[in-house]
Amino acid sequence: MKNLKEELNIIINNTEIFDIHTHLFPSNFKTHYLSGIGEVLNYHYLIAELLTSTNTTPNAFYNLNNNDRAKLIWEELFIKQTPVSEACKGVLTILSSFEIDYSSKSFDQINTEYLELNLSDQDILNRSKISNLVMTNNPFDLEEWKLFEKKDWNSDVYLASLRLDDILLDPNKCIQTAKNKIQDNLNERDLIIKYLDTAYEQSNPVYAAISLNKDQLSTLIENKIFSYIFEWLKLKNLPLSLLLGVKRQVNKEFLLAGDGIDRVDLSYLSKLCNKYPKNKFLCSCLSLNDQHELTVIGRKHSNMRIFGFWWFMNQPTLIEMIMNLRIELLGFNFIPQHSDARVTDQLIYKWSHFKVILNKILFSHYSELVLRGFKISEEKIITDVNKLLSKNALDFIS
Ligand code: FIX
Ligand code: ZN
């Protein structure tokens, strides 16, 4: 084998990716599809950075249109300040990957050059080597759910997931939605299950998902509706993805940029895995505090699979440390990353930044094996990288 680092680079860049959690929609779903450098600059990670590092008030910011918001973010974070945060670097990665020389240019100039690229969503998926991605689909958001009435998009590439947060946040609204759609005299529990059945038939989801704060996690196990949902998920062989440790709206004025971290008690995750041994769980935790315990839980329950570095965890320093820990405790038996992309173009930076870390980490682990006389072949690396970027996720959801 040639130089290990170079070999790893080639294999990582040639391996197809299954992106297990995004907020993307196909381009034909025009009301929800987000793309382009203006939308990239409107990312809520950058909005939070703007609102906490400049004199711009949330009110003044949100009164602007999207174009003016992007312009302001570009001026404040990229021209007046040094764009050194991970979210800022992401924007620069996207621009430089298309060889757009952004230095001393205004947002309008960059936007014009970017629009001239005329990128389709499939161009971006091809460039990032994404074979499939999982959307976030809320069956109780009827506008968003209209996607499944349309047939002009590729459901082999864009896979569905059923986002169930609303059942905990607003059960009455969900029951009403189910009642309107099902038109049957069922009790509330059966209405929800029947509605989920319909949603399942329409969307063919690969998992259901829910994000939880501390209290929601500790009470999920005794939640009446969810006890039936767990039964239903088991029948459908559908994993439940648990996104743990978000505290919504710690600063309400920031809107989508105002969510923070909550402290969760992961013993409830273990309890769920034990109570529902035939159900499958995916899990990602938002706080660094929970990562060690989560990894140990990953060694104790074969019906739970750790995935990704969610949101505030998606920082290179944390990824490197925690991914090493995961490998040390679990081998390659976890799903190391998801993009959480909201704008299609973000796939470029989310995955290219991760690949740099993956290369570094695999290099150090393989080097240690070589020191112990283990033979690393090209074939072995291809198998491992494929597991990490695709197969582990596919196997768990199938
Ligand atoms: O709940 C989620 O799926 C989160 O990923 C989002 O709500 C969050 O706003 C986000 O974009 C994080 O990356
Ligand atoms: Zn998400």
Q: Which of 67, 52, 32 is nearest to 254 (CA)?
A: 52
pLDDT digit string, tens, across residues 227-264? 999 999 999 999 999 999 999 999 999 999 999 999 99
Centre of ligand 1 to C-alpha 151, Å, is 27
Which atom of ligand 1 lies closest to the CA of 259? 9
Per-residue pLDDT at 2 exceeds 80: no
**pLDDT (0 to 100) of residue 97:** 98
pLDDT digit string, tens, across residues 90-120? 999 999 999 999 999 999 999 999 999 999 9
Q: Does any ligand 1 atom lie closer than 6 A to the CB of residue 119?
A: no
Closest ligand relative to 260 C-alpha: 1
Centre of ligand 1 to C-alpha 5, Å, is 33
- Could you give the 3-state DSSP secondary structure of residue 145? helix
Q: Does any ligand 1 atom lie closer than 6 A to the CB of residue 165?
A: no
Per-residue pLDDT at 184 exceeds 90: no
Q: Does any ligand 1 atom lie closer than 6 A to the CB of residue 243?
A: yes
Of the pLDDT bands very low, low, confident and very high (cuts 50, 70, 90), residue 185 is confident
Q: Does any ligand 1 atom lie closer than 6 A to the CB of residue 312?
A: no
Per-residue pLDDT at 1 exceeds 80: no
Closest ligand relative to 20 C-alpha: 2
DSSP string across 269-285:
HHHHHHH-TTS-EEEEE
Ligand 1 atom 1: the closest Cα is on which residue? 211
Which atom of ligand 1 lies closest to the CA of 342? 11
Ligand 1 atom 8: the closest Cα is on which residue? 311
The average pLDDT across 35-42 equals 98
Per-residue pLDDT at 165 exceeds 80: yes
pLDDT digit string, tens, across residues 136-159? 999 999 999 999 999 999 999 999
**pLDDT (0 to 100) of residue 362:** 98
**Helices in the chain by DSSP H: which ranges?**
4-14, 37-41, 44-53, 58-62, 66-73, 86-97, 107-117, 121-128, 142-145, 165-169, 171-182, 188-203, 214-220, 224-236, 267-275, 291-300, 316-330, 346-371, 378-386, 392-397
Q: Does any ligand 1 atom lie closer than 6 A to the CB of residue 137?
A: no
